[in-house]
Amino acid sequence: MRKLIIAVAISSVLSFSALANTLPKVTIFGTGGTIAGEAKTTTDVTGYKSGEIAISTLIEAVPSIVDVANVDGIQIVNTASANITSEILLQMAKKANELLKKDISGIIITHGTDTTEETAFFMDLVNQTDKPIIVVGAMRPATAISADGPMNLLNAVKLAANEDSVGRGAMILLNDYIGSAYYTTKTNAISLDTFKARDQGYLGTFADGVARFYFDASKATGKPNFDVSKVDELPRVDIIYGYQDMKVDQINALIDAGAEGIVIAGSGNGSIPTAVKDKVIELNKNGFPVVLSTRTGGGFVTHKDYAIGSGTLNPQKSRIMLMLALTKTKQLSDIEKFYGTSKLN
């Protein structure tokens, strides 16, 4: 009987190993955020400290991941997403593209939700393959009584391992919804249902633990691609929030501090006070890029004769786009094409 039990046990191990060898390979980059957050009580969902739990611990907390994919984790940083820098973005981009060219199905980035859309947008623009990059997070810390991180992470692994994810660009996954990184933005400070693309909609959803896409794979219209493999430093681009009686002092100060481009979150269709507009016109004539976006949270900022209209991109995504555009060209007319707002458009 004992020999039989041992034989069955060995057979089970061999079967599991054979199964594991056939599963897709997925790599998870850990950067911290709420999904790796820790609070003093299980009911505290706002007064927690981000980036306290290692990526290895997050993976271990979801044992069913091993049934979906062969997963390994790389701790890039462990911090709040407000601390993600251009240097970290470049580091992740280069590492992701190196791995995606090998025998893996996709990359997952665990990330704080406050700046998820910026990292996801950046990774969407610099991915040199058709393989998926999934940015995932949580709105409640890992210590919360109803933490959303474990399910989000499991779904992210399923999404990265899914052949139907190929060709859809980078995606943001939270609360069972799959969003295009190019369009998706955070719309609520604390709600679980915060990431949305109001005009463009979701790519799909998770139902019964399965990714169900609404459309065939496609990419955002006019989306550019940037190869940052040889880029060691991204140009400095700053954002200024527009308001009544706005002065030009901030613009001058940022240029003096070394800004190579500026994004203004204007009112309405990128409108700014006359005094500021005069300064922008001057900068435009001198070849200094100023992008006019909108503080409204949505809509299309159209072509301007004196500045670059941001199109569908909000201020934070406009900044990422301008940083990458400046690695290719300094010509304002060429930069404007990346936003899809050239006069001919």
Residues 232-276 pLDDT 10s: 999 999 999 999 999 999 999 999 999 999 999 999 999 999 999
Q: CA–CA separation, 163 vs 24, rounded Å?
A: 10
The pLDDT value recorded for residue 4 is: 40
Q: CA–CA separation, 123 vs 182, rounded Å?
A: 10
197 Cβ neighbours under 8 A, 6+ residues apart:
179, 180, 183, 184, 185
The pLDDT value recorded for residue 243 is: 97
Say if strands 106-110 and 133-136 run parallel, antiparallel, or are unpaired: parallel
Of all residues in the chain, what percent carry a pLDDT higher than 90? 88
Count Cβ atoms below 10 Å from residue 290 Cβ, excluding itself. Answer: 23
Residues 289-335 have pLDDT tens digits of 999 999 999 999 999 999 999 999 999 999 999 999 999 999 999 99
Question: 187 an active-site residue?
Answer: no
pLDDT at 18 over 60: no
Residue 251: in which H helix or E strand, if any? helix 249-256
Burial environment of residue 37 by CB neighbours within 10 A (0 to 12, 13 to 18, 19 or more): buried
Tokens of 241: 């929030």
Task: Kindly report the pTM of this predicted structure.
Answer: 0.91
Per the residue annotation, which of 27, 31, 34, 143 is the catalytic one? 34
Strand partners of residue 75: 30
The pLDDT value recorded for residue 197 is: 95
179 Cβ neighbours under 8 A, 6+ residues apart:
171, 172, 173, 195, 196, 197, 202, 203
